Chain A
């Protein structure tokens, strides 16, 4: 069974203090790993898709990387508006309809 574990559960940063969020996964053949951002009371917003180990994607202050067992979401010089819950999900090669298995998320708070 596919599993996704995210750490830490919560992270508090000062504005400008860079850090990383971790997503460890177990899957029977990775088709894709997805990162989402979710603001309170809203639906998740798609950020990145990573398909193979060594791949990297960037968007503004966010950079996602992938290895064979985990993914990192690096946040460089964060701003208060980066505060949100960040969700990681995996899709297995064995799924025929695109099922995503989600982690529990990391709640990021950036203080000014």
Chain B
């Protein structure tokens, strides 16, 4: 069966500090990978998606970047965090073909002070 991991689970960072969140998927190969942010209003906003190693597309211009160094590894980064970067970050995967459901990880709660 497939499993998706995210770490850390919670993170408190000062404004201006760097960020690195990691997501790994087990039990599948060549998945589509996604980063979402969920603000207090509960809606999920797609940030980045990747259809393969080194292939990253951004949905929303922002202070964040993403990388996919390995097939089942997805990293969300920032060089300098802003207060507005606080939120619940979720990684998800789906099978390569469209029309398939996405499966979410446990999430990372980020608080920027």
Interface residues of A (CB under 8 A from B): 31-32, 34, 36, 41-46, 49, 51, 85, 87, 89, 91, 95-100, 102-105, 107
Q: Which residues of B contact A31 (CB under 8 A)?
A: 98-99
Asked if B98 and A102 make an inter-chain contact with CB atoms under 8 angstroms apart, the answer reads no
Besides A46-B102, A98-B32, 9 new A-B residue pairs in contact (Cβ under 8 A), listed by A number: A43-B90, A44-B104, A87-B42, A87-B44, A97-B32, A97-B98, A98-B34, A98-B49, A100-B44
Asked if B42 and A97 make an inter-chain contact with CB atoms under 8 angstroms apart, the answer reads no
Q: How close is B70's CB to chain A, nearest CB, in angstroms? A: 19
**Nearest B residue to A34, CB-CB:** B101
Q: Which residues of B contact A45 (CB under 8 A)?
A: 104
Q: How close is A3's CB to chain B, nearest CB, in angstroms? A: 12
Question: With the chains together, A43 CA to B109 CA distance in Å?
Answer: 11
Q: How close is B110's CB to chain A, nearest CB, in angstroms? A: 13
- The answer to whether B87 has its CB under 8 Å from any CB of chain A is no
- Can you name 12 A-B pairs with beta carbons within 8 Å? A32-B99, A41-B109, A42-B106, A43-B92, A43-B104, A44-B104, A46-B102, A49-B101, A89-B44, A97-B98, A104-B41, A104-B42
What is the size, in residues, of chain B's interface with A at 8 Å between Cβ atoms? 26
**Nearest A residue to B106, CB-CB:** A43
Q: Which residues of A contact B109 (CB under 8 A)?
A: 41
Q: Which residues of A contact B107 (CB under 8 A)?
A: 41-43
Asked if B46 and A85 make an inter-chain contact with CB atoms under 8 angstroms apart, the answer reads no
Q: Which residues of B contact A44 (CB under 8 A)?
A: 44, 90, 104
Q: Which residues of A contact B100 (CB under 8 A)?
A: 98
Which residues in window 67-113 of B have CB below 8 A to A?
A: 90, 92, 94, 98-107, 109
- The answer to whether B57 has its CB under 8 Å from any CB of chain A is yes
**Nearest A residue to B91, CB-CB:** A43
Asked if A104 and B46 make an inter-chain contact with CB atoms under 8 angstroms apart, the answer reads no
Q: Which residues of B contact A95 (CB under 8 A)?
A: 98
